[in-house]
Each structure stands twice: as structure tokens, then as C-alpha cells.
Amino acid sequence: MAEVVGDGASRLERRKARTRTALVRAAQSFIAEGKLNVPVLEITQAADVGMGSFYNHFESKEQLFQAAVDDAFEAHGNLLDRLTGDIDDPAEVFAHAFRLTGRLHRIEPELCRVLLAHGSALITSDQGLAPRALRDIESATAAGRFTVADPQVALALAAGAAVGLGQLLHDQPERDDAEATDRMTEDILRAFGLPAEEAHRICQLPLPDLSSVASLGSVA
């Protein structure tokens, strides 16, 4: 009997997780479209869940939207960790993460629009790109790869460039995302003290095939 009860509890938890994921993804879609004043009823309809299910997971629409943003940031950060985990040089880790992020705007446009809608959080968030970029900037500086007086100012520079690049790529869908991203990455690496030839070399290194990576989706 205990096994049956346990299995029933497991199914309940999976169902709850699916409901939360559906709500978060619906919220991310509305955020990506700039529809922040949408009523809860419309969110539940988009998620195909009942109104009561919403309040089983979130106390308010604002709480849901914050969870949607947090999940998008963390999904982004987890993806970068997976794709750069085998690289030893922190300067290369930073460059790979920036180059991959730029390319994601074509592959995961909706999730990237969520990130762009909260661009200032790229500097201050404790999830996603910000803490990882700060870690890599500090590590590269300690290793003598970067010449940076204030890593947080350097992070602000990189975050501003990432937001600006993302907006440019969304506004100009015909632009070559890889070329634009690599060019900006080179500029940032030079600003952080790398010689031009080294910055160019790093930006010519092969990247993982993002098209083969599972959708960012939600980390719920």
C-alpha cells in the first residue's frame, strides 16, 4: 500500500510541476510580447489550466511574472554552464558565453525577449548571466588575462553591450547574428585589456552547435 501511496504522491508532484511550468511559459510569452497588464484569467487560458490552479502556485500575477523572469535567467545561465564547463581559460569562458548569448537571439527569440525586457537585471541579478560573467571577469583578471580595475564596472559594460546587441538583432532580423556578436565580443575583450590579435583568436574558436541544444524552456 505504501508504494501505491508513494506513486500517487509522485504523480501529483509531476502534475503540479507541469501546471507551474505551463503558467510560467504563458507568462514568459506575455512578457516577450510586452503585455504586462494581461489579467490572470487570460494567463490561465493561455496555459490551459484552471483559475484555481493558478492560486495553488502563485499569490499574484506579479509573483508569477517574477518567477517567469527568474526562470528565464536561470535557464540561460544553466545553458551557459553546460556549454562552457570544459574550458579552462576564464577569458575564453567569458567570450564563449557572450558569443553564445548573442546567437541565442535567433534560436530562442521569445526567451531572449524576456531577458531584454529586464535588461538592467543583467547587471544586478544573482541568476543567469550576471553572476557568471562577474565570476569570469574576476578570474580572468586574477589570472592576468584581463586588465580590469573594477570588475563590476566591467560587468556593467558587458551587460550594456549584451542588451544593445540583443535589441539590434531583434530590430534587424536580416543582420548576421554571428558576425555582429563576434565583432562586439572582440571589442569587449580589447576593452578588458586583451591584445587585438588574441581577442580575434578567441572569437574564432569553434562554438557548440546551439541548434542541437534543447530549448531553454523553463527550469521549473
Count the helices and strands in the chain (H runs, E runs). 11, 0
pLDDT attached to residue 148: 96
Helix (H), strand (E), coil (C) string for 136-204: HHHHHHHCCCCCCCCHHHHHHHHHHHHHHHHHHHHHCCCCCHHHHHHHHHHHHHHHCCCCHHHHHHHHC
pTM of the model: 0.75
Mean pLDDT of 210-217: 55
pLDDT, averaged across the chain: 84
- What pLDDT shows up at residue 213? 56
pLDDT tens per residue, range 28-84: 788 777 777 888 899 898 888 888 888 888 888 888 888 887 887 787 788 888 888
d(CA 26, CA 72): 12
| Percent helix / strand / coil, the chain, rounded to 5 | 75, 0, 25
Residue 219 has pLDDT above 70, yes or no: no
Model confidence at 2, pLDDT cuts 50, 70, 90, reads: very low
The residues, ordered by sequence, that sit 6+ positions from 10 with a Cβ below 8 Å of its Cβ are none
- The third-level CATH classification (topology) of the domain covering 66-207 is Tetracycline Repressor; domain 2 (1.10.357)
Residue 214 has pLDDT above 60, yes or no: no
Percent share of the chain, pLDDT over 90: 36
Q: 212-217 long-range CB contacts below 8 Å, 24 or more apart?
A: 213/79, 213/83, 215/108, 216/72, 216/75, 216/76, 216/79, 216/104, 216/108, 216/111, 217/21, 217/25, 217/75, 217/111
Q: What is the pLDDT of residue 26?
A: 87
Total residues belonging to the chain:
220
User: What residues does each domain of the chain span?
Assistant: 1-58, 66-207
Contact 141, 177 (CB under 8 A): no
- Could you tell me which residue, 186 or 215, shows the higher pLDDT? 186
Q: Which cell numbers in the block locate residue 83?
A: 556549454
Query: Is the model's pLDDT at 172 over the cut of 90?
Result: yes
pLDDT tens track for 145-171: 999 999 999 999 998 999 899 889 989
Other Cβ atoms less than 10 A from the Cβ of 162: the count is 27
d(CA 85, CA 82): 6
Q: Which residue has the higher pLDDT, 65 or 183?
A: 183
Residue 142's Cα: distance from chain center in Å? Answer: 26
Confidence of residue 91 (pLDDT cuts 50, 70, 90): very high
| Res 3 pLDDT > 70 | no
Say yes or no: do domains 1-58 and 66-207 share a fold: no
Residues whose CB falls within 8 Å of the CB of residue 172, separated by 6 or more in sequence, listed in order: none
- Is the CATH number of domain 1-58 3.30.70? no
Select, from the ranges 19-28, 82-91, 189-198, the one with the highest average predicted confidence (pLDDT). 189-198
**Residue 19, CA atoms < 13 Å, CB-side half-sphere:** 17
pLDDT digit string, tens, across residues 97-121: 999 988 888 887 777 777 777 666 6
210 pLDDT tier (thresholds 50, 70, 90): confident
